[in-house]
């Protein structure tokens, strides 16, 4: 009887050890619907162990040309483990109600290849859990479109940047490199 108990305990320890060590950070324990797709973006599955720039976007915002800079940033660092996650939002009334139109702006007009979610709420009581957690860690919710949250490989916000900070800004690049080094 004692041998069976020891064997069962060892089996549980062996099974739970790697799972606990590789547990996904709370920030990534979410799924988002993928833009113009029936698929979902499982943040743990796709982004665990990677550095992230999470940005709330809007197709008809004056900052929309930042899509080009975000794509360039993604291309520059994706081989090092960076992923950019675009989350369209109509919280500031500058996103289309038509997902096809949003997709056209992102994919066709700006050539975005990084993951894009369907339109979500990113601030206030309606904010999706991902953005509530980003705001809590960073100490601030998006005050406009194209706020950029830089997240390290462990799911911790390294820094965040307002809409006015371009994707090629040295401070943003420094935060991305810090997140990649964590």
**113-164: pLDDT as tens digits:** 999 999 999 999 999 999 999 999 999 999 999 999 999 999 999 999 999 9
> Could you tell me the pTM of the whole model?
0.87
Flag whether 95 is in a domain. Answer: yes
6 pLDDT above the threshold of 60: no
Say how many C-beta atoms besides its own lie within 10 A of residue 104's C-beta: 15
Q: Which of 24, 44, 61, 106 is catalytic?
A: 61
Q: Give the mean model confidence (pLDDT) for residues 34-41.
A: 95
Flag whether 175 is in a domain. Answer: yes
Residue 85, CA distances (Å) to 17, 53, 82, 146, 182 in order:
30, 6, 10, 11, 19
Q: Give the mean model confidence (pLDDT) for residues 44-50.
A: 96
What is residue 7's predicted lDDT score, i.e. its pLDDT? 44
Flag whether 119 is in a domain. Answer: yes
Flag whether 8 is in a domain. Answer: no
| CATH of residue 150 | 3.40.30.10
Q: In 3-state terms, what secondary structure has residue 1?
A: coil
Instruction: Considering only residues 180 and 1, tell me which one the structure prediction assigns the higher pLDDT.
Output: 180
What is residue 16's predicted lDDT score, i.e. its pLDDT? 42
Range of the domain at 141: 24-181
106 catalytically annotated: no
Flag whether 2 is in a domain. Answer: no
Q: Give the mean model confidence (pLDDT) for residues 24-29.
A: 95
Flag whether 47 is in a domain. Answer: yes
Distance CA 44, CA 85 (A): 13
Say how many C-beta atoms besides its own lie within 10 A of residue 155's C-beta: 20
- Least confident range of 19-28, 66-75, 125-134, 148-157: 19-28
Burial class (CB in 10 A: 0-12, 13-18, 19+), 98: exposed
2 pLDDT above the threshold of 60: no
What is residue 182's predicted lDDT score, i.e. its pLDDT? 83
Domain count within the chain? 1
Flag whether 52 is in a domain. Answer: yes
35 pLDDT above the threshold of 50: yes
Flag whether 161 is in a domain. Answer: yes
């Amino acid at each position: 009887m004692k041998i069976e108990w020891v064997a069962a305990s060892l089996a549980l320890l062996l099974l739970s050890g790697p799972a606990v060590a590789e547990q996904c950070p709370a920030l990534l324990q979410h799924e988002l619907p993928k833009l113009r797709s029936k698929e979902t973006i499982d943040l743990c599955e796709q982004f665990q162990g990677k550095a992230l720039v999470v940005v709330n976007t809007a197709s008809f915002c004056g900052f929309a040309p930042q899509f080009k800079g975000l794509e360039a940033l993604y291309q520059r660092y994706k081989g090092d483990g960076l992923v950019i996650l675009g989350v369209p939002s109509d919280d500031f009334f500058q996103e289309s109600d038509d997902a096809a139109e949003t997709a056209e702006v992102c994919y066709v007009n700006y050539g975005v290849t990084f993951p894009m979610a369907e339109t979500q709420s990113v601030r206030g009581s309606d904010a999706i859990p991902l953005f509530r957690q980003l705001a809590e860690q960073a100490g601030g919710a998006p005050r406009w479109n194209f706020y950029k949250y830089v997240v390290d490989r462990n799911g911790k916000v390294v820094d965040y940047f307002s809409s006015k900070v371009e994707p090629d800004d040295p401070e943003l690049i420094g935060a991305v490199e810090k997140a990649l080094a964590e």
